[in-house]
Amino acid sequence: MLCGIGLGFTDLTRIGVLLVALPLLSGLLMRRHDLRFSLERTALPGRIQVDEQSRVTLGIENAGGAASPLLMAEEQLDYALGDRPRFVVPRLRRGDRQEVHYSVRSHVRGRHRLGPLGVRLRDPFGLSTRVAAISGSSDILVLPRIVPLGGGQPLFDGTHAVVEQRAAFRGNARLAVALNRLW
């Protein structure tokens, strides 16, 4: 801008003014948006077995005084639950609500955290980015896989005859004799 003024080139001066005004305009646009949201998170089912899926529903409501801009959102998840889901939250008027669904699956048992939700706002010129986290998290419990056992009979039912019979049947004659002496 100074070179344009000093050399008398009006076009160069206009470009310089634009380059100085653009970051200021970008900063003003970013500050005018009020990023206040309320979040409701539900995981159904809340308890799953290893390698089962759970469907998570995020209810995002604009709690700010004005309409929200278009936002990029990313859910923070434990590493064991897979990739972090990313989605676009459309422009929401005051009090409007948007629901987003995604699925999680874990190969590791334990209690895993869902959340918080991070939102990112960029200005139209791509010069600045504003990042905010919508507080709130919930947990999902991953249990070990249940393996049904065979339908066999119990080894001991209170009488020593059953134990002797089973030991003899399996070819453990010495064990059968030893058990007989104990009884």
Please say whether the beta carbons of 143 and 46 come within 8 A: no
Burial 134-143 (b: 16+ CB within 10 A, else e): beeeeebebe
pLDDT for the residue 88? 94
pLDDT for the residue 125? 81
pLDDT for the residue 183? 57
User: β-strands 86-89, 129-134: how paired?
Assistant: unpaired
Reported pTM: 0.69
| Euclidean distance between CA atoms 183 and 155, whole angstroms | 16
* DSSP-derived secondary structure for 114-169: EEEEEEEEE-TTSS-EEEEEE---EEEEEEPPP-PPP-PPPS-SS-HHHHHHHHHH
Q: What are the φ/ψ torsions at residue 100 (nearest 5 degrees)?
A: -130, 140
pLDDT for the residue 162? 55
pLDDT for the residue 161? 56
pLDDT along the chain (183 residues), means of 10: 82 89 85 84 94 94 88 92 93 93 93 93 85 89 85 58 53 60 62
pLDDT for the residue 177? 60
- With CA atoms as reference, report the closest residue to 71 among 129, 135, 138, 137: 129
Q: What are the φ/ψ torsions at residue 76 (nearest 5 degrees)?
A: -85, 125
